[in-house]
Amino acid sequence: MKLSGAKVLITGASSGIGAATARAMAAAGADLVLAGRDRTRLEAVAAETGGRAVVCDLAAQPRVLAERAGPVDVLVNNAGVGWSGPFARMSQETLQHLVAVNLIAPIRLTQLLLPGMIDAGRGHVVFVASIAGVIGVGREAVYSATKAGLITFAEALRHELRDFSGVGVSVLLPGVVDTPFFERRGTPYTRRAPAPIPPERVANAIVAAIRYERPESYVPGWLRLPARLRGAAPGPFRALMRFFG
């Protein structure tokens, strides 16, 4: 799909991967609608990329965002939050917040904007999931579950839309990305490996996924190896996970 002149809505555009994606999309000539909660940061990204800022809380107001955005050619469901710690101690509020922002909001926003794409006979929906959604990460059980849900939702939607609608679906599976994500979830990333990658790499992968209709993109690409190992040889995979933590 051509991005030049396409109307693209990016959620979570005020920071990290979303802001980098806005810059990459602007360079590709897209007409941007940028969503986030932090007005100051969002408006700064909008000024830099020529986009229109829509400030709203996705967990509470997906319909407000869809109405203010209007029909779009491309939806990038990127906004997300993390939490790390023992599952047994996770508060109910945090649990519900993660599920609301990471899983329900992108599904609902897609449901609101997809009919316009189907009517137009063209469009693309992107989901920024995570490698955690494929392999499952200890102390990030609910986060992993929300991303797994997103991956399976995208797969099912792709089957449903295949052949007739002209609407593509892509899933991004980043590993560790150097953004404020870890600081915000309240637990810094402390492992030595894998090293965090810059958000621009994920942004470029999103642009390529839309241009070349890629169903699934691991960023960096080697992350598909643990994902495949888990499917093909779960026993050795679990032994390796114990070893590497």
Ligand X SMILES: NC(=O)c1ccc[n+]([C@@H]2O[C@H](COP(=O)([O-])OP(=O)(O)OC[C@H]3O[C@@H](n4cnc5c(N)ncnc54)[C@H](OP(=O)(O)O)[C@@H]3O)[C@@H](O)[C@H]2O)c1
Which residues of the shown chain bind ligand X in the complex (CB under 6 A)?
12, 14-18, 36-38, 42, 57-59, 78-81, 101, 128, 130, 174, 176-177, 179-181, 184
The residue from 143, 189, 212, 218 that is catalytic is: 143
C-alpha to C-alpha distance for 245 and 59, rounded to whole angstroms: 32
Of 80 and 149, CB closest to ligand X? 80
Of 41 and 158, CB closest to ligand X? 41
Of 30 and 151, CB closest to ligand X? 151
For residue 218, indicate whether it is catalytic: no
Torsion of CA 183, 185, 187, 190, to 10 degrees: -60
C-alpha to C-alpha distance for 137 and 182, rounded to whole angstroms: 15
Return all residues near 64 (Cβ < 8 A) that are at least 6 apart: 56
Please report the beta strands in the chain, taking only residues with DSSP state E, as ranges in sequence order. Answer: 7-10, 31-36, 52-55, 74-77, 123-128, 167-174, 216-219
3 state SS of 227:
helix
The DSSP bridge pattern shows strands 74-77 and 123-128 to be parallel
Q: Within 10 A of 170 (CB to CB), how many other CB atoms are there? A: 24
C-alpha to C-alpha distance for 143 and 218, rounded to whole angstroms: 18
- Tell me which residue has tokens 């509470």: 60
Of 120 and 227, CB closest to ligand X? 227
Of 4 and 190, CB closest to ligand X? 190
Active site residues per annotation = 143
